[in-house]
Every structure is written in structure tokens, then in C-alpha cells.
Structure 1
């Protein structure tokens, strides 16, 4: 297969765009990214690049006429819907209607949105109970990558895409309206499962607007519970979530965003933080690992079980963000787990991201964001310290994508196992941070000093396969989350006797605790400059991230030389 120069035109360099970028590079192509800023700039960048093909993995904006009308260089949209499906709310409707299957379609951009001829399609089963982000980052992402591969192969072979024909009985999709809040609305008198489905379908953005505690809030991160009460009443608080009674049972709500006043901007925060002044008389339920380690509560952001010689600690924090308080709970859980008579401590993620490090939304909401960031980084360092000092052999199970301190938290383990096709971002620099979480110890230990420097300075994503080659990951398990969990537990049970890990077990006996202490101290000296004195504009970058400010240009690190050369030639 010949190598292509491919533009990835995207609204953001999100998880799917990163995965497409990595996959195309692995296949020998040269993808260059263009982030959609304004129409004129985007057209100029792409027209001057000399690209063979434009693929849009994640595009919220309409493709400009000047781009899609060029017959020599197709623009292919990756749409998260089956053939014939059109509209911006494809996944929302699929979840709301509890469809048994769904798909992704690659179609050529034309004047009418999502109505172009079809290049490729891939369908999949749609299990009940998935929230939108979980569906998007899992089955949709997998299908999208298969479609992108097929598009590239067909383009090289001179394929002509098939016009969309609604008279064909195999075309089951249709034009769907953009889902509005009226389509998402529920009453707390409705049953829990219906309410959860409404919230799941709006996960990430835009959330579902609901009345709660006398105010109007967008609700996110719902979990079923069997307790009962007066519908709409807050029954309890646990960790950062509030328990709200419904028509039959109740739901834990993990995150809220207050409905903004005209001209105001608000953002998601842990529910307990948002409602802090209204929870004085609400019972606080505590089934932390140290107090109730083997309970059967449905909602457990940190949970523990044992299997043979393995203690398995699962952390499931919404969007992979770990606030100061969440890190403190994790430290308590780890200390309890380390006291158990086990020989392996398996630390794994849940359904979403494994971890993305400190909680930027909680930091931004604080009265003194710099002070909260400083507290948060020390708290997550404490989590890593517990892993580095464990008597047990520590195994990380990286179940989902991870970034910044979340990657380094995984690397604090003795052995790292990753789920296939996850994406890691082992860097901090783009957020204006030097980084901590003992990265100056754990990353060089895994990949060597030179590669550690390269990874943290390049600010580029790394695939699971690359991480394996580099030494960041020791084994890759199945892509299916359920299969990976089973595989992970089996592998964790075997690492004590597997000759592959004899050197790791030996290394465990010779840990240099003084070096580890020095690494933390020097990292925090640097982070003090970043978080408390804003040396590299962390405060502004945190604010832009939280408020989802659109980038003004595509970062230079994402633009390939071939895409610059043509532009320079034309300018000259």
C-alpha cells in the first residue's frame, strides 16, 4: 500500500482523532492535523498542504464548499450513525431509543450535512446501560478506525463512493432532528432506569436540565440504587455524589452544572461541591474501603475484592479526574489494601478513562485555584507514593485512555498491563506544568532517560502498541472491557511465578527510597513555580480547558513537514 499524505480535520485533537492519527502512522501514512478554527484559515491550510485525502474523525463544523467541492481530494466525514442516519444527535437518539445495534459511516462531504455518498460503514451491537462517552470511546471509536482504514484502502484503489439511496431497503437510517432539552426531559417521578437513560444519552454534553434542591442544574454521571423516598428528594451523600429519589427507587448523581444566568458560564463539578450549602441535614453514607471493604453497594467509585493472592482495587472517577479529596480517599483505600495478606495488588480503572491526573474543574472552581492545584498535586503524589512503597507486587490495569499524571500513576506500579488500543498522553507541558507523580523516577525507569525526555517534551499521544515497544507497558490484553477484566485478573495471579517477571520481582527488593524521595521533592519545587506562581500560564490554560475555549490555531507539533513545505513554497 502506498503512503498517503492525509489531513485529519477535526474540531479538537480528542481521543478518536488521536487514535486515528496513531493508527494511520502505524500503517505507514503521514497524517497532519488541522483543527477547525475559522473557515478561511482552514481552507487556506488544507488547500496549500497538497494533501491526498482529508478525513474528519470529529467535526462539529460544516465543511466549507471550497474543500468538499474539490474532486481530486475527497473530504470524508466519520459519522457516528448507520448508513442513512443524519444529524448531530446520532448517539443520543440511539441510547434514548435503546436500539439493539448501531454503527459508524464514512461518507463524502457534500453541501447537505451527512448526505454524501458512502465510502464505508461498520455496525456493532449496542448493549443497554452504556453512557454516551463510554459508547463513543469504545464501540464507536473501534468502528470508526475500521472505517478509516477501509477509506484509505479504497482511495488508493480508486474506489468511487456509493450515493446514498433511501429507496434501498438496506438503508435503515434517516434524517434526525438535533435533540433538544425537551427531548431529554424527565420527571423525578419517572422510573430510575428511564431517568438514567436520559442522563446517559446526554453524557459529556449537554447534560439534562433538571430541578434539584430548589435550583436548576444539568445532571451527569448517574448510577442506579435501590433506596426509596419522595421523588426529587436528596436522600443521602456518599463521596462526591448525591442520592436522589425517583418514582420507583433512586439514582446517585455524580456531577452537576448549575444553569447559567444570561451572559454567565458554568461548568461541571462534583455534585456535593455544587450543592454544598444545601446538604447540611442530608445523611452522609460511608462505605469507604477501610470501613466497609467487602460491601455490595451499587455505587462505589473505589471498590475492592480479593481473588487468590491478588487484592484488586478499582478506581472509577468521572472522566478520569482525581480531586484532592478523591486522592485522599484513594490513599486510605491503598493503605488498607496494603495491610491485607495478599501478594499482588492490582490497581485498575473502571468503565471510562483510567486517569487523567488532577481535577482541573475542581481546581478552577476553588476560591484560590493555585492553592487547590498545589494541594491536588501533593495528594496525587501521595497515591503514587503508596504504590511505590507497597510490600506487594503492584500491577496497574490501564482499562482506558490516560493522560499526564494518570499515565505516571500507572507507571508507579511494578508491572503495567493495558487494554488494546487505548491512548496514553505521557506529558504535562501543553498544560503549562513541569509534572509530578514521581514521573522523573517512574518514566526513566520504564523507557530510559532520553526517551522520557522526548515523550514529555514532544507532547504527542502514544498508542498501547508503542507503549509496549517502549517499555511503558509490559503486556496488552483484550480490547473488550469485560474480557480485559478477566484476563487482567488471571495475569495478576500469575506474575508471582511467571519467569518473565523474575527481574521485576528482584528489582522490588532493591528499591532506592532516597532517590524516590528526591524525585518528588525536585518535582514539587518545579510545580510550585507552575501552580503557585504561574510560570508557564497554567492558570490560563486550566481556565481555557474548563470553559472549553476553542483553540486559535493548530499546535505546530501536530502539523507534518509536508503540510508546511507547500505553504512555504506558495508564500515564497
Structure 2
């Protein structure tokens, strides 16, 4: 399966999905949204155990495709046409990332703006190059955040800092983003992909069934009360305890050797 706007590379049990519209700074067109969803579904179907998401060229993603937005508005006689079906497609992509029980690493290079920021934040772990910059740019053109920005950002950095970034549309460096807890860490641009791949391999070699359940619990943790979260933890722990990976982990512990997990 090939994609029009996305490159998909499988290396063992790690898939690297690269947004590939460098001339448009990887703006999120409707086609790209569809391609990203199809690539993620392909990864899941192939039994991939970790995904790295990045962008070709000098941007991770500049956000929604404003040119396409304008063209759709002119064709349909209403500017909000782009904010109908295409936005639903992008929101479906965000949900797919959160609901797919494998770890996603965003390897953020260069420009990361608007919906591109929120696409990165939808991933489980965000690693950025030292020349990357983040901008929740919606307000700068009179729009409001989408693609989960008002969900992910305050949970990462708190309400007050989120309000400042969302209401001003100011750009912050990757270093500052790491300092406030928006992303996990910053690495030199030259080593962004190697460091992201290294982490992806580490996760892929882990008990990915357990990792998927951790992801499910984290997703629920902000809406559950303590009792509901404890119930969910017990349910997930029982499933983990019934797994082959737990048996292997226990055997490896007593044998004093590294475990060999299969994700089952």
C-alpha cells in the first residue's frame, strides 16, 4: 500500500510515518489526514509495536492547509466548508492515535504550528529537535484551536500556561516547551531520528500489551474519579497478569536474565 502524502517505512516492529508535503510545510490537507489514518491502520494490522511520526523537510507540520481551506470555501460558497468534513477527518485521526493501543512517538523537526502542534501532543511521547518551535497559531488568524489542543495542552502544562499560548498564538522554542512539560525532551537536530528510533525500539521490545493498557488508563485518568480509576486498574492488571509477557517477565526475574517480550 502506498500513500500520496505520507511515507511509510517498516523496520522490524517499528513503523516510521513521515508526512511528506515539504513544499507546503506538511500542511494537513484532507488527503494527508486520510493518508495518516490509513498508515496507522496499516501499522496496527501489521502488528507494529511502536510508531514514530515525523515530517519531511523543514517542518513537522504547519497546521491546517489554509490554501485548501480557501479553495473549498470558494467552491462551496462558504469559508467554513473546510471546517466540516476535513476537520471531522482530522479529529478522527486524533482519536485513532489515542485509541490505538501501541506507543506513538512524535519526532518534531522545525516548524510545528496549529493543528500540527496538537497532532504531536496526541502522541504518547514527544521528542523535538533543538531547532523546533511550537505555535498554537489559530488565534492569529481569528480561529480557535482544534485537533484536541484545548484537551491536550492544559493537561500537559496547566490551565494558565495553556491559556497564554492559545490566546496569544506566541511561538515557543523546543527548549521552553520541554521546560514547561509540553514535550518530553530536546535533542540535536542531527540526532532527532536516531534518538526517536532508539526509544521506539525500546518500547517495541517491551510488553506492548501492558503498554497499550497503560495508554488506555492514562486516557481515562482525567475523567474518572478515583474509584472508577481503581476499577479500571484492577481490570487491566488482571489482563496483564493473564498475559504471556507476565509469565516471561516473572521467569526472567527469577532466572536473572533480560526478558524477551512478545506483546502477548
TM-score, normalization by structure 2: 0.73
Aligned residues of 1:345 and 1:392 also touching (Cα < 8 A): yes
Aligned residues of 2:109 and 2:189 also touching (Cα < 8 A): no
The partner residue of 1:304 within 1, 5, 8 is 8
Q: Distance in 1 between matches of 2:141 and 2:150?
A: 18
Q: Which runs of 5+ in 2 are unaligned?
A: 224-264
Q: Deviations over 1:142-201 (max 9, x none)?
A: xxxxxxxxxxxxxxxxxxxxxxxxxxxxxxxxxxxxxxxxxxxxxxxxxxxxxxxxxxxx
- CA distance 1:385–1:512, shift in 2 (3 Å): same
Q: Distance in 2 between matches of 1:363 and 1:509?
A: 34
Q: Distance in 2 between matches of 1:312 and 1:404?
A: 22
Which structure ranks higher in relative contact order (CA pairs < 8 Å, sequence separation ≥ 6)?
Answer: 2
Q: Distance in 1 between matches of 2:31 and 2:222?
A: 27
Three-state SS of the structure 1 residue aligned to 2:67 is helix
Three-state SS of the structure 2 residue aligned to 1:471 is coil
Q: CA deviation at 1:360?
A: 0.6
Q: Distance in 2 between matches of 1:492 and 1:344?
A: 6
- Name the residue aligned to 2:178: 468
Q: CA RMSD in A?
A: 2.5
Q: Distance in 2 between matches of 1:375 and 1:505?
A: 29
Aligned residues of 1:420 and 1:479 also touching (Cα < 8 A): yes
Q: Does residue 423 of the first structure (1) align with residue 133 of the second (2)?
A: yes
Q: CA deviation at 1:427?
A: 3.8
- Name the residue aligned to 2:97: 387
Q: Distance in 2 between matches of 1:315 and 1:358?
A: 13
Q: How many residues align?
A: 213
The partner residue of 1:488 within 196, 201, 222 is 196
- Name the residue aligned to 1:365: 71
Three-state SS of the structure 2 residue aligned to 1:354 is strand
Three-state SS of the structure 1 residue aligned to 2:84 is helix
Q: CA deviation at 1:386?
A: 1.3
Q: CA deviation at 1:492?
A: 1.9
Q: CA deviation at 1:372?
A: 2.4
- CA distance 1:509–1:365, shift in 2 (3 Å): closer
- CA distance 1:470–1:505, shift in 2 (3 Å): farther
Three-state SS of the structure 2 residue aligned to 1:348 is strand
- CA distance 1:506–1:476, shift in 2 (3 Å): farther
Q: CA deviation at 1:328?
A: 1.4
For residues 239-258 of structure 1, the aligned pairs below 5 Å read none
- Name the residue aligned to 1:346: 52
- CA distance 1:333–1:494, shift in 2 (3 Å): same
Q: Distance in 1 between matches of 2:160 and 2:204?
A: 31
- Name the residue aligned to 2:34: 328
Give the number of the structure whose residues are more often helix, by fraction: 2
Q: CA deviation at 1:468?
A: 0.4
- Name the residue aligned to 2:251: none
Q: Does residue 402 of the first structure (1) align with residue 112 of the second (2)?
A: yes
Q: Distance in 1 between matches of 2:175 and 2:213?
A: 26
Q: Which runs of 5+ in 1 are unaligned?
A: 1-286, 290-299, 499-503, 516-572
Q: Deviations over 1:348-384 (max 9, x none)?
A: 1111311122111011122133212322222221221
- Name the residue aligned to 1:508: 215
Q: Distance in 2 between matches of 1:496 and 1:447?
A: 28
Three-state SS of the structure 2 residue aligned to 1:417 is strand
Three-state SS of the structure 2 residue aligned to 1:484 is helix
- CA distance 1:506–1:348, shift in 2 (3 Å): same
Aligned residues of 2:136 and 2:165 also touching (Cα < 8 A): yes
Aligned residues of 1:357 and 1:380 also touching (Cα < 8 A): no
TM-score, normalization by structure 1: 0.35
- Name the residue aligned to 2:157: 447
Q: Distance in 2 between matches of 1:513 and 1:491?
A: 24
Three-state SS of the structure 1 residue aligned to 2:60 is coil
Q: CA deviation at 1:312?
A: 1.3
Compare CA radii of gyration and give the structure with the larger one.
Answer: 1
Q: Does residue 459 of the first structure (1) align with residue 169 of the second (2)?
A: yes
Q: Distance in 2 between matches of 1:326 and 1:305?
A: 16
Q: CA deviation at 1:447?
A: 1.2
Q: Deviations over 1:191-243 (max 9, x none)?
A: xxxxxxxxxxxxxxxxxxxxxxxxxxxxxxxxxxxxxxxxxxxxxxxxxxxxx
Q: Distance in 2 between matches of 1:497 and 1:309?
A: 9
Aligned residues of 1:395 and 1:415 also touching (Cα < 8 A): yes
Q: Distance in 1 between matches of 2:33 and 2:127?
A: 22
Aligned residues of 1:477 and 1:488 also touching (Cα < 8 A): no
Three-state SS of the structure 2 residue aligned to 1:428 is helix
Q: Does residue 288 of the first structure (1) align with residue 2 of the second (2)?
A: yes
Three-state SS of the structure 1 residue aligned to 2:61 is coil
Q: CA deviation at 1:329?
A: 1.9
